[in-house]
Amino acid sequence: MDPSSSPHVLPAACDFTVFGGTGDLALRKLLPALYHRDLEGQLPADHRILGVSMSDLDDAGWRDAVHAALTTYVDPEQLLTPAVDRFLARLYHLRLDARNAEDWDRFHALLKERAHPEDAVRVFYLAVAPRLFGSICQRLDEIGVVDERARVVLEKPIGHDLDSAREINDAVGRVFDESQIFRIDHYLGKESVQNLLVTRFANTFLEPLWNSRWVDHVQITVSETVGVGGRGEYYDHAGALRDMVQNHLLQLLCLVAMEPPTYVGRETVRDEKVKVLQALEPMTPEAVDRDTVRGRYDVGLVDGEAVPSYSEDLQAGGSHGRSRTETFVALKTEVQNWRWAGVPFYLRTGKRMDRRASEIVVVFKEPPHSMFPGAEGATAPNRLHILVQPDEGMRLHLTAKEPGPGGYRLRPVSLDLSYAAAFDARLPDAYERLLMDVMKGNPTLFMRRDEVEAAWTWTEPILRRWAATAERPRRYPAGTPGPTAAAMLLERDGRTWQETDQ
């Protein structure tokens, strides 16, 4: 293996280009993440960051914009003057109109403008609309800047259905080898998500219980309080199923359900995840009608503040506001394999809900026999809550005896693990880990082509069925846990959504 692409060795030099360099993702997430890594001394000395966009900015203008973004998105205690200056000096901006050959020549020249350009690993981060992925890659190839060490990073969504995902994968694959393509799902960079693997496989106590014999069901929730804000144009074409379920929630499900790989390596984890996706119960039209709920937020109160409806948010962004797009999804599925057959997995995500919380709850079965006289019905099943955000950690719900004489009074108690308390360290943003992995050439936490396509294969029948029925998403007031039908989805199975007080 080329040593510079070893997971543990940084390239001696790197040109990190962000297409969409003045966009929200670049300014809010990517540049602050790179700054943090630079602050910790992890960027090579002559690492450059090239911003490419349609904006008429020179280098100084982009540096000002990035400086303002750092001031907004980075903790002031981490903004140290010499480090900020060093970071800003790495930045260059190029206005590029993708149809203009001269602009591409200028980009080529910029990449060549360094001592020993052939030594630098080139990373092309495409933080732009997915329809541009193929043509940008083709141009990069034509101007001759793609060598075997180059890498391309693709932001989700990879397409809007299976066919469009394949088209994008084909187009990018004509220029880059699969090993050079990094499809990002930032949920995989979250500390608590990675810790899920460690909790499951670096400890022994859970594994014997982690199956249909002891697990009653699994719940995965990603609820947000934000609305669609200024992203209405994108979101209205996507909806919650494409925006969140097809990628983030299915990735969480994979990590909960996958078999142990022989070791954590660049293909082994992905091999196991893809098997989970392929084992998901297919969504027939009957299953879609029975096991999915769509919702859409209406006006309401979030954190005590009145907020507009989804239609009003769309109108504020210049659209007519008429839409059948869902901002909430709840669904039930099953992983049809030896370990999980018969265990429901309930997934739920929505915007403008009552709280911001992402969590996985594994609910265990009730004890087979109640042996404490008078305590029948006083026990609750054991539950393991894996808290992804806002506070990362884990909570194990047990039943305990209330102290005192006079028989057994049983009470629920919990064992709490907060990462913030256990590790006295700043928890890095997901992008920090993932961008370093791109530079090191380590694809373990990125989605492989077959994973993305397996996820679309499962998701697409839901989209097709929804499009074929006259039913519209159910309204839910902003600031609530979503439509009541989502609660019914569990209640009809004799279960309820488990909320964690974070």
Element (H, E) at 288: helix 285-291
Residue number, 353 or 410, with CB nearest to ligand BG6: 353
Q: In this structure, what token pair is assigned to residue 379?
A: 């026990």
Closest residue to ligand BG6, judged by C-beta, is: 243
Give the separation between CA 245 and CA 237, rounded to whole angstroms. Answer: 15
Least Å distance, CB 358 to ligand BG6, is 6
| 443, 266 contact by CB (below 8 A) | yes
Peptide bond into 157 cis (omega under 30): yes
Token look-up 């609309």 returns: 129
Long-range contacts of 39-43 (CB under 8 A, 24+ apart): 39/78, 39/80, 39/83, 39/87, 42/10, 42/436, 43/14, 43/90
Least Å distance, CB 407 to ligand BG6, is 46
The catalytic position among 36, 47, 248, 397 is: 248
Least Å distance, CB 317 to ligand BG6, is 14
List CB contacts of 410: < 8 A, sequence separation 6 or more: 372, 375, 378, 379, 399, 400, 401, 402
Locate the DSSP E strands across 30-171.
Answer: 48-53, 91-95, 121-126, 151-154
SS3 state of residue 221: strand
Residue number, 343 or 455, with CB nearest to ligand BG6: 455
Q: In this structure, what token pair is assigned to residue 202?
A: 């670096």
Residue number, 293 or 357, with CB nearest to ligand BG6: 357
Q: In this structure, what token pair is assigned to residue 131?
A: 């329809």
Task: Write out the residues near ligand BG6 by the rule CB under 6 A.
Answer: 186, 224, 243, 358
Least Å distance, CB 406 to ligand BG6, is 47
Residue number, 92 or 476, with CB nearest to ligand BG6: 476
Residue number, 243 or 291, with CB nearest to ligand BG6: 243
Long-range contacts of 492-497 (CB under 8 A, 24+ apart): 493/217, 493/332, 493/344, 495/216, 495/217, 495/346, 495/363, 497/219, 497/221, 497/346, 497/348
Q: In this structure, what token pair is assigned to residue 431?
A: 């992008």
Give the separation between CA 432 and CA 34, rounded to whole angstroms. Answer: 7
Least Å distance, CB 314 to ligand BG6, is 15
Q: Residue 387: how many CB atoms within 10 A of its CB?
A: 22
Whose CA is closest to 176, among 151, 142, 144?
151
Helix axes 59-73, 31-39, angle to 10 degrees: 80
Is-catalytic flag, 248?
yes
| 327, 310 contact by CB (below 8 A) | yes
Peptide bond into 390 cis (omega under 30): yes
Residue number, 15 or 313, with CB nearest to ligand BG6: 313
Q: Which amino acid is at 260?
A: P
Backbone angles phi, psi at 431, to 5 degrees: -65, -25
Catalytic residues, by residue number, are: 248
